């Protein structure tokens, strides 16, 4: 075991504090990563506060990890010391269920092993990326292309893949009208990626306060959902709507914006149900779907796509001691568009 510095939540209600945690020895198939940056995802906050169910403490979160390989196990073939790498929302899966064998291990029927607050294969609780180092089995480690700086790459490992996967699955591209609901950490990446895929992109945001940013990041149109006229003007318009909002919205109003055979995909996760009127679907053979992160293969494809198209996350870099303040700002949607912790400040 190796002792490393980290920021951990001591309980559901206390602020995160600087502490130390143990990382396992590098096994034959493991990679040791010196973390350079870790993104702050809304899920981190839900998790440490016990809002998605009880967890054990202390808990280190963070599943948007970018850094450098500093050691590899004897049987590792995919990564070498010095490689630029990333780790996202999962660090393992059963590898034998139908979904794992299909290369969709994010949907592992036995539950993928989350990067934090999850029971690891050795029975310990996984600890995430707000930490100087992490040990991860090699096939759950991604290659970060040279073209993407570490701090802008980190959020791609969750916010990037969570939006890339449904955009790719539902064939966003030339001739397709895509709407993105919400202009936060996920939404701003959905705009950039959908635009890079060649789709016509519309942002649906509560207000027009981020309109300039939205257009700069690749949106063709930008509408305020607080204006009821938006819903009449855009009725029957979109092939695909990516809903990134994790609060309850009037889902039937958004479904009415889909054209024939259109799909609304939720990637934001409100704790409460979203009541769907089936009549909202009948009228134009619409679908209401969900999508969770993406596979390792697809995450690599997303990183390579972003490098090729010169896109990455818009970030605000902070020091470790600013994490608690950053959490409050995330809850107020006061971030453009992702906080990323400079892990060098933990030393």
Which residues are near Zn ion by CB under 5 A? Answer: 41, 43, 93-94, 97, 100, 108, 110, 158
Residue 94 or 208: the one with the smaller Cβ distance to Zn ion is 94
**DSSP percent split of the chain into helix, strand, coil, nearest 5:** 30, 30, 45
CB of 110 to Zn ion, least distance (A): 5
Strand-pair partners of 223? 204
Give the Cα separation of 339 and 158 in Å (integer). 13
The per-residue DSSP string of 197-223 comes to TT-EEEEEESSSTTHHHHHHHT-SEEE
Give the Cα separation of 93 and 80 in Å (integer): 23
Structure-derived torsion over alpha carbons of residues 152, 40, 99, 247, reported in degrees to the nearest 10:
-120
Q: In angstroms, what is the minimal distance from the CB of 174 to Zn ion?
A: 29
The nearer residue to Zn ion, 159 or 257, going by C-beta atoms, is 159
Q: Which is nearer to Zn ion, 163 or 280 (CB)?
A: 163
User: Minimum distance from CB of 342 to Zn ion (Å)?
Assistant: 19
Nearer to Zn ion, 26 or 189 (CB): 189
Return the number of the residue (97 or 208) whose C-beta is nearest Zn ion. Answer: 97
Q: DSSP label at 68?
A: E
Contacts 24+ apart (CB under 8 A), 328-335: 330/40, 330/42, 330/45, 331/45, 333/184, 335/184, 335/185
* Residue number, 150 or 223, with CB nearest to Zn ion: 150
Q: What is the distance between the alpha carbons of residues 239 and 260, in angstroms, rounded to a whole number?
A: 8
2 vs 335: CA distance, rounded Å: 34
Shortest Å, Cβ 339 to Zn ion: 12
CB 78 within 8 A of CB 148: no
Which residues touch 122 (CB under 8 Å, ≥6 apart)?
24
């Amino acid at each position: 075991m190796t002792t490393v510095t980290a920021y951990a939540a001591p309980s559901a209600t206390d602020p995160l504090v600087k502490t130390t945690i143990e990382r396992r020895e590098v096994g034959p198939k493991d990679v040791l990563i010196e973390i350079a940056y870790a993104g702050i995802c809304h899920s981190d906050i839900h998790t440490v506060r016990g809002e998605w169910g009880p967890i054990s403490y202390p808990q280190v979160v963070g599943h948007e990890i970018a850094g450098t390989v500093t050691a590899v196990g004897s049987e590792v073939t995919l990564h070498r010391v010095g490689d630029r790498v990333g780790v996202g929302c999962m660090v393992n899966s059963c590898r034998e269920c139908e979904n794992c064998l299909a290369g969709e291990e994010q949907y592992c029927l036995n539950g993928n092993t989350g990067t934090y607050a999850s029971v690891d294969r050795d029975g310990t609780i996984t600890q995430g990326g707000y930490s100087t180092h992490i040990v991860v089995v090699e096939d759950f480690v991604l290659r970060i292309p040279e073209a993407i700086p570490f701090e802008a790459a980190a959020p791609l490992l969750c916010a990037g893949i969570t939006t890339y996967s449904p955009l790719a699955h539902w064939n966003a591209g030339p001739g397709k009208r895509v709407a993105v609901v919400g202009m936060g950490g996920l939404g701003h990446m959905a705009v950039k990626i959908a635009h890079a895929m060649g789709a016509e992109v519309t942002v649906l945001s509560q207000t027009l306060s981020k309109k300039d940013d939205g257009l700069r990041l690749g949106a063709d149109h930008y509408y305020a959902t607080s204006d009821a006229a938006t819903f009449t003007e855009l009725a029957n318009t979109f092939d695909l709507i990516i809903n990134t909002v994790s609060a309850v919205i009037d889902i039937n109003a958004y479904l009415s914006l889909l054209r024939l055979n259109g799909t609304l995909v939720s990637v934001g996760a409100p704790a409460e149900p979203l009541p769907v009127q089936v009549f909202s679907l009948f009228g134009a053979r619409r679908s209401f779907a969900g999508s969770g992160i993406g596979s390792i293969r697809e995450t690599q494809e997303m990183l390579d796509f972003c490098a090729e198209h010169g896109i990455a996350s818009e970030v605000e870099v902070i020091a470790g001691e600013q994490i608690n303040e950053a959490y409050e700002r995330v809850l107020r949607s006061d971030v453009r568009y992702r906080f990323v912790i400079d892990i060098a400040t933990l030393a």
